Structure 1
Amino acid sequence: MKNETYVRAFYKTGVYVAELIEMQEENQRALVKVLAVLRHPTQGDLHNPKMTNVPFFHQRKALAQFEKTWVPLSSLKSYDEQVPDYKTSLKKALEKQISELESQDTDWSRACLEKLKECQNEYGL
């Protein structure tokens, strides 16, 4: 059975499975509650992607389990699959991104890996 309350939500550079809490058509946004991580956020400066020569190379953590955030309505897609366990999905998304970056050999990928290892330690994974 299709569940209209679960969505795939894109927030900055991360992708999440979330519960739809509220929609504001007039503001073109929705309030969602994070249930799982599908893609871990990209590290670094969002305004200067894939660049390391920036004033501050940001560590970007995934949104926490049950964290609520506003996202643009245009970033939502229906989610009809089984909702994965948060911690398991976080670990899988983080490991996938680390694996993809390890196959590259750039200053940016090395800087990202350093920040992702910090995230991994802080998550306790």
Structure 2
Amino acid sequence: MEETQYVRAFYKTGVYIAELLDKQEENGRVLVKVVAVLKHPMQGDLHNPKMVNVAYFHQRKALAEFEKTWVPLSSIKTYTEPIPQYKLSLQKAVEAQMVALQEEGSEWAQECIEKLKECKREYGL
């Protein structure tokens, strides 16, 4: 039986600990299954970073526990640290991002904090 391999995977603006499931070398991508969150995705319009007056200020949620997604092979690194429980890792990632945004203190940061509060409610945190 093959040993489970865990990786640090970057997906859009979030960073996850994930189980490596499949590799498509010819397409340069891998299929991963999320087991924990290291960095919560950024909020807002990624095409107009740090701007509030945009057509739509997006709420971006983290990938769910056990959600599978394809990521570029170049975006993964082997992960060998202890793996935290998903919900605790999600809570820690959201709170770390909120602290960083509070320190920034801009109008954009405040809008991001409001979107993260919505995420927290929807996550049940």
Q: TM-score band, normalised by the shorter chain?
A: over 0.9
1:115 is the counterpart of 2:112: no
Deviation track 1:43-91 (CA, whole Å, cap 9, x = no partner) reads 0112111111211110000000000001001100010111110000000
1:21 is the counterpart of 2:18: no
8 A contact 1:4–1:78 mirrored in 2: no
8 A contact 1:48–1:54 mirrored in 2: yes
Deviation track 1:81-124 (CA, whole Å, cap 9, x = no partner) reads 11110000000000100111111221110110010000011011
Q: Distance in 2 between matches of 1:64 and 1:42?
A: 16
User: TM-score normalized by structure 2?
Assistant: 0.95
* RMSD (Å), alpha carbons: 1.0
Q: Distance in 1 between matches of 2:54 and 2:68?
A: 30
Residue type at the aligned position of 2:7: V
User: TM-score normalized by structure 1?
Assistant: 0.95
**Superposed, which structure 2 residues align to 1:32-111 within 5 Å?**
32-111=32-111
What is the number of equivalent residue pairs in this alignment? 123
Alpha-carbon distance, 1:28 to partner: 0.6
Aligned-residue identity in percent? 67
Which sections of structure 2, spanning at least 5 residues, go unmatched? none
Alpha-carbon distance, 1:4 to partner: 6.5
Which sections of structure 1, spanning at least 5 residues, go unmatched? none
Q: Distance in 1 between matches of 2:10 and 2:121?
A: 24
**Superposed, which structure 2 residues align to 1:2-21 within 5 Å?**
5-21=5-21
Residue type at the aligned position of 1:81: E
8 A contact 1:35–1:65 mirrored in 2: yes
